Amino acid sequence: MEVERYACEARFFTSRPRPEREPPTMNPEYCPRCRASRNVSVQSISRRVTTPDGEVRSVRTRSYHCGSCRQFIRSEEIEEGVAAS
């Protein structure tokens, strides 16, 4: 019974899509929590957005977090163009 329960939990956790992780950048940024310059880790997520004109576009959001304390620092959205439907 225990084996079945853990197998079910493992399947649940592995079936979720994981965001893309990029290597930490070499440019340190100021962390408001640490109150110092720290290396940051970058997480990228792509999503599709429908414009008011009805056009579907792909947007990549990059989130920057402190490498030491994981505090959110900033994010930027990059429009990648028209998404294939």
- What pLDDT sits at residue 19? 58
| Cα distances (Å, whole numbers) of residue 80 to 2, 5, 41, 48, 53 | 46, 42, 21, 10, 17
CA dist 57 to 51, 52, 54, 63, Å? 7, 11, 10, 19
Which pLDDT tens digit goes with each residue over 14-55?
444 555 565 555 679 999 999 999 999 999 999 998 989 988
Name residue 4's amino acid: E
pLDDT at residue 1, as a whole number: 45
Q: Please check the confidence at residue 9 and state whether its pLDDT lies above 80.
A: no
pTM, full prediction: 0.63
Percent of the chain clearing pLDDT 70 (strictly above): 65
